Amino acid sequence: MKLLDKALCLAAFLGFAACAGNPYPGGEEIDNPGDNPGTGQEGLYLNVSASYIEVGEEVILTVTNDGTDVTADAAIYERTNNYARLEPGADGRYTFSSDEVGQHEFFASYGNRNTDYITVSVVNSILEVPEDPEPDRYDGFTHRALAIQGTSLGCTYCPRVIAGIHDFVESSDADKVVFTAAHGVFADPFVSDYSMQVLLALGINSIPQLYFNMTSEYNADANIPADVTRNITTLANQLTAQPASTAIAAATSAIESRGTVQVTAHVKVADTGRYRIAVWLIENNLYATGQENYYGSQLQDYDFTHHNYVVRWISNMNTVTGEALGGQEETQGGTTQVYSCEVSMDDFEYEDLTNLRAVVMVNKSTGGARYLTDNVISCGMNEQVAFEYED
């Protein structure tokens, strides 16, 4: 069994500890940081010139308050370096670079207020995505919905949802939905810190559930498989009928001899707004017996020994909806943003790379801290997905 990276897990749990009254695990005195770093006050933002950089590349950090640059009067700290305070260069700029692959989290303090955490990912190289067939086009994006199944082998009623998804996937609307499955509530071989964090973030403490686009407001669960399929179809058509504000192209690289999975995405943004981007790795065709099944022979025609869409890893344990797209408080319409992340294969469990897929999602703010999925794609390992447009 592969062990989760201790540093990553520690960083994730420290995020919760910070809200419990010990915001500085390193015990260092820092200048007027406010009570809880990374909690974020409206209007105060930490911005980076790039969220995803190659080893040795430099990124510039700035702080704005209600749109005004206040960097000179702010303090910037690196959470993933024991909350060390960054020092400006001779030119007054705050910069960061690293000679090693990894993720680095920062927040800023201004007065007695703090920004949200922002992540800078350092990767070996940024992959090329397919050429855009319509580079000047910023409308008519192919739109897909994200489905998040709360499930477990120990859940007696979960087979009705599994069967309903199976029937939907065989329908003509199948391409409108990207499915994921977060195992938890009951112990089973597919439960992980990552899947539990998804369930926690969505407030799922009873299963089965089948939420769409990061909210319980869209739930396709029902008492019989046929109704589950019908609900999925209704939600898929309802949610994708609205125009997407973003389009996603992606490329992945997974080489076991190198020991990492890398994902690069380009995101076209039609409408100015606040966006987050996240990658979840899921695995299909996982064999496990012991699925509890209240329905018995009623569902004997379905296979409950092979499990699909299993969440194996998520790119942001602090915010499952991801980090700020392009590292900016607001992304301008008519632009294309670049994202890249790299994770060690030792950081998550998997059985077969050929069954692993990267789910790349862009989530859009609907006001305040609430983000719903705007668009999503699924990309196999060592494959590419191009920008797609409606005819």
pLDDT of 123: 80
Average pLDDT, 10 consecutive residues per value, the chain (391 residues): 33 31 33 48 84 86 93 94 93 93 90 88 85 96 98 97 97 98 96 98 97 97 96 98 98 89 96 97 96 91 96 96 90 95 95 95 92 98 96 77
Q: Rounded to an integer, what distance in angstroms lies between the CA atom of residue 60 and that of residue 305?
A: 50
Q: Where are the alpha helices (DSSP H) in the chain?
A: 6-18, 158-169, 193-202, 225-240
pLDDT of 18: 30
pLDDT of 25: 32
**Residue 356 to residues 73, 156, 281, Cα–Cα distance (Å):** 46, 27, 7
| Domain annotation for the chain: domains and CATH numbers | 6-121 (2.60.40.10), 145-385 (2.60.40.10)
The residue among 136, 142, 108 whose CA lies nearest residue 31 is 108
